[in-house]
Structure formats: C-alpha cells, structure tokens
Amino acid sequence: MVSARRSFNGRLPVARLTRLTDALAAPDGTVTYDIEFGRDELGQAYLALQAQVELVLTCQRTLELFAMPVAIDTRLGLMTREEDEAGLPPGYEPLLLDSAEIRLAEVIEDELLLALPLIPVKPGLEESDFTWSTDPAQAEAPQRPNPFAALGGLKKG
C-alpha cells in the first residue's frame, strides 16, 4: 500500500469499535475517515490519518451526557522495529507493525482512544470557583463547636 500510495476514505460506525465504546456513555455516531499511505522525501513509510466524529461522554462534574467533537489529523511512521522510532522525522508518531498486515479500524480506534480526555468535563464547566491549594497555611479549618466544652464547664463548677 505504501509503494502504490493507496488511499482510503469512508465511514465507520462507532458501535463497531468495542474498545472505544467501553469508554463512552453511548456507542452513537459514525467516524468519517481519510487514510493515505506513502513515503516521504526521506524514504520514511507513513500512514496519514484524518478522522472526525462526535463521541458521547459522561461529564465527571455533573454526570450529564454531552457530545464531544473529535478531529484527528496525524501522520504515523510505519516501522517494524522499536529501535527505528528515534529516526522518525519531526511530526510523526510511531506505528509499530508486527506483520505486513494493518487493520485500519484498529488504527482509527487507537487514535480515538488517545484523543479522549482523561476526565471528561462538559464544555463551559472547566472553570471552578473553588481554588485548590497544597499550602497548609492557606487551608481553612472548619469552625465547629468543641463537643467537650460542656465538660470543661462541669470541671470548673
């Protein structure tokens, strides 16, 4: 495919990407993708991937569902040995191949998994009014009445 500079485009239902659907709130949507194989001016074999989809996630702050648009535009350097990663040109991500066979749906799924946020938060809720601090001097101790204060009064009397 690299030598022939093959390209593919199409649509892939999110429901078919089982590892991805485990991380989603709903397996809705369709991934639109364009894939191109080739070799750059330095002779490096690559796979260029562009994909777009809206993924349904659960906001971890409000527990509401929301659709997060994901757009991927990446170039993966194809290699058979892990040692070759250091020789990749800038702007390439490594794609280690065990054999000459590539499962394009798995490559798309891997890139979508990498694009997911660690903690999904609905847009507009990223800012919080609460300020976190690790400085013990800034920690506010709650003012609660001492439950043993009544005993202190009995001791004096």
Residue 88 corresponds to which amino acid?
L
Any alpha helices (H) in the chain, and if so which ranges? 18-21, 104-115, 149-156
What residue ranges do the domains of the chain occupy? 7-126
pLDDT at site 157: 58
pLDDT at site 40: 92
Beta strand pairing status for 30-39 and 7-13? antiparallel
pLDDT tens, 12-71?
A: 999 999 999 999 999 999 999 999 999 999 889 999 999 999 999 999 989 999 999 999
Query: Does 129 score more than 60 pLDDT?
Result: no
- Mean pLDDT confidence for 136-150: 69
pLDDT tier at 136, thresholds 50, 70, 90: low
DSSP string, 21-64: HTTSSB---EEEEEEEEEE-TT--EEEEEEEEEEEEEE-TTT--
pLDDT tens, 57-114?
A: 999 989 999 999 999 999 999 998 888 888 898 999 999 998 778 899 999 999 999 9
